[in-house]
Amino acid sequence: MAATTNRGPRWESEFGRWVAEYGVSAIVEALANDPQLRVTKHAVYEWLRGHAPHPDRARALVRLSRGRLTLEAIYQHVREERERLRRESEKREAAHR
């Protein structure tokens, strides 16, 4: 299992912790069996950066987690990450004024 320390806030959500523990490569491998669900490591990292996974993939992640994750936890991560990025952008803009 991968450690979540010193990885930043995107790894601290329920979804981020699950991804860290399960492993990005393991997620890619687990979803590779279904041509409709296949993803790359890059796609998983994009989910962590606030890009929402397609609903079919999100449901597959819930199944893969054996109920540890919920759709709400996945999409809550997306909302929180987008909000965090928005606040960071506003801070950078304010610093340049």
pLDDT per residue over 22-79, tens digit each? Answer: 999 999 999 999 999 999 999 999 999 999 999 999 999 999 999 999 999 999 999 9
Establish if 39 belongs to a structural domain. yes
In a domain, 74, yes or no: yes
Q: What is the pLDDT of residue 3?
A: 44
Does residue 58 lie in a domain region? yes
Q: Where are the beta strands (DSSP E) in the chain?
A: none
Tell me the C-alpha distance between 62 and 31, whole Å: 12
Please check the confidence at residue 10 and state whether its pLDDT lies above 60: yes
Number of domains in the chain: 1
**Has residue 41 been placed in a domain?**
yes
Answer whether 69's CB lies under 8 Å from 13's CB. no
Q: Is residue 69 a part of any domain in this protein? A: yes
In a domain, 2, yes or no: no
Query: How would residue 7 be classed by pLDDT, with cut points 50, 70 and 90?
Result: confident
In sequence order, the 6+-apart residues with CB closer than 8 A to the CB of 70 are 62
70 is in which domain, residue-wise? 9-95
